[in-house]
Amino acid sequence: MFSNRYIFIYSTILVIVVAIAITLTSLTLKPKQLENIRIEKMQNILKAANINADKNNAKKLYEQYITECFAVNIKGEKINNINAFNIDLEKEFKKNKVEQQLPVYVCTGKNSEKYYIIPIKGKGLWGPIWGYIGLCDDFNTIYGTFFDHQGETPGLGAEINTDKFQNNFKGKKIFDEKGEFTSVKVIKGGANPDDIHSVDAISGSTITSNGVSEMIKSCLSLYIEFFKNQRQKEICYDKQ
Amino acid sequence: MINNNNITKNKEPLFSAKNLKLLKGPLNEVNPITIQVLGICSALAVTVQIKPALVMAISVTVVVAFSNLIISLIRNTIPSRIRIIVQLIIVAALVIIVDQFLKAYMYDVSKKLSVFVGLIITNCIIMGRLEAFAMNNKPWPSFLDGIGNGLGYGIILVIVAFFRELLGSGKILGHQVVPQSFYDAGYIDNGLMILPPMALIIIGIIIWIQRSISKNIVNN
């Protein structure tokens, strides 16, 4: 039989030893983990500009193609002296609209054509969904998209991170002919192929699909003023 | 007596028949999933594709083996009144360490496994082995017992994942194996395979097959 004193000392020592072991592991591996997250973000941004990067060349390709990275406010004015890459969208969305800092990544292609990549974030069925939308320099046509999710149903909502779903968005437009913001909707039961403002939903995942619609609409709408300021009458050079 | 014990211990080879049985038994006749029906929850959750199932199997094996080893090493010092807490602390620490390693070196897989790595802590196989084996046995047999049970768990996970990935998305380890011509001819991946109920049904079928092959399991 062990005395109470022994039990107390035993448990204290055990907890301290375990705590030290965990702290050491965590501290040694932290830089590597943060680097993984950064590289993943670069891959995702590149994906929205239709550049497929793996984790080995993501950094190189990012430096090569993403030529500019800045933040704007709701009025479409550039905010100076800020590292836009590290902006946490979730924190920004909780702020007042006036104070929000909205990141924009500019990708310069091989023929020095420019694409503007906008980060988006929203809610799926089970948890957060997020992504990036790459716009042509008419600030209207979608050039590429990337979506990902935390825990959507595999085979249903989780399909939003597949090329099959993401490619549907290419060439769709977010403004109508009158210049009104319409966003791109994900339509249950199949969108009319001629409709330039909607894409097919994934059958069986209504809530995730609606989440994607809502996410694109709410996030892009914050940039409307920026788009209007920047808009030039150039037709998107479509490689497809 | 003590001397005798030491001599027999020294003489016993590392992989004696008894020790090998610890390693092999859990693969079939005392399999943690199909016979003891432990660890079902994670078996349902991470078996949609083979790769996460493999990583999960390896993670669980590492955690069971090392928690068995550590608990067995300190088994005589653990006050029995707080033994469950002590076991939990060791298991939790190991799980956190494994999780940190996955995040650093296998980031994409760790994202797929998400919460289920953390939930290894509550996997009944681990606590079960600690209570039933490591608390009363020497370190080396305990370590083997841990590896055996981890692999026994893992082999079922991989079998289930193989069928779910093949029938559910037509792939094996992420490579397309069902040819496009099948799809053109009207073949459709079975969406139900991707959902958890089918994992339960596949485990059921495995148990059925296993029991019809070795009848003595039923009698025991």
A240 CB within 8 Å of a chain B CB: no
Q: Which of the listed ranges A13-17, A94-98, B80-84 does the model predict with the highest average pLDDT?
A: A13-17
Closest by Cβ to A22, choosing from B85, B97, B108: B97
Give residue for tokens 């005392």. B30
What pLDDT sits at residue B6?
46
| Interchain proximity B81–A155, CB inside 8 Å | no
Using the predicted structure, report yes or no on whether residue A58 has a pLDDT greater than 70: yes
What pLDDT sits at residue B218?
64
Give residue for tokens 């204290």. A12
Binning pLDDT at 50, 70 and 90, where does residue B217 land? Answer: low
- B91-118: average pLDDT: 86
Binning pLDDT at 50, 70 and 90, where does residue B66 land? Answer: very high
Rg (C-alpha) for chain B, rounded Å, is 20
- B39-48: average pLDDT: 80
Tokens of B26: 């859990």
Using the predicted structure, report yes or no on whether residue B64 has a pLDDT greater than 80: yes
Using the predicted structure, report yes or no on whether residue B103 has a pLDDT greater than 60: yes
A contact test, residue of B51, B62, B76, B89 with most A CBs within 10 A? B89
What pLDDT sits at residue A215?
92
At a CB cut-off of 8 Å and minimum separation 6, what does A129 contact?
A121, A122, A123, A147, A148, A149, A150, A152, A160, A208, A211, A212, A215
Q: What is the ipTM of this complex?
A: 0.74
At a CB cut-off of 8 Å and minimum separation 6, what does B85 contact?
A11
What pLDDT sits at residue B1?
39
B contact test, residue of A15, A20, A36 with most B CBs within 10 A? A36
How far is C-alpha B102 from the geometric centre of its chain's CA atoms? 17
Q: Which of residues 74-93 of B touch A (CB under 8 A)?
A: 77-82, 85-86, 89-90, 93
- B90-99: average pLDDT: 92
Give residue for tokens 């490591």. B134
What pLDDT sits at residue B220?
55
pLDDT tens by residue, B164-204:
988 888 888 878 888 888 888 888 888 788 888 888 899 88
Residues in chain B: 220
pLDDT tens by residue, A121-144:
999 888 899 999 999 888 888 999
Cβ atoms of residues A70 and A78 within 8 Å: yes
- B138-152: average pLDDT: 91
3-state secondary structure of B108: helix
Using the predicted structure, report yes or no on whether residue A239 has a pLDDT greater than 50: no
What pLDDT sits at residue A237?
43
Instruction: Report how far residue B162's alpha carbon sits from residue B195's, in angstroms, rounded to the nearest whole number.
Output: 14
What pLDDT sits at residue B109?
83
Strand partners, A133: A118, A145
Closest-CA residue in chain A for B100? A26
- Annotated domain spans of chain A: 66-239
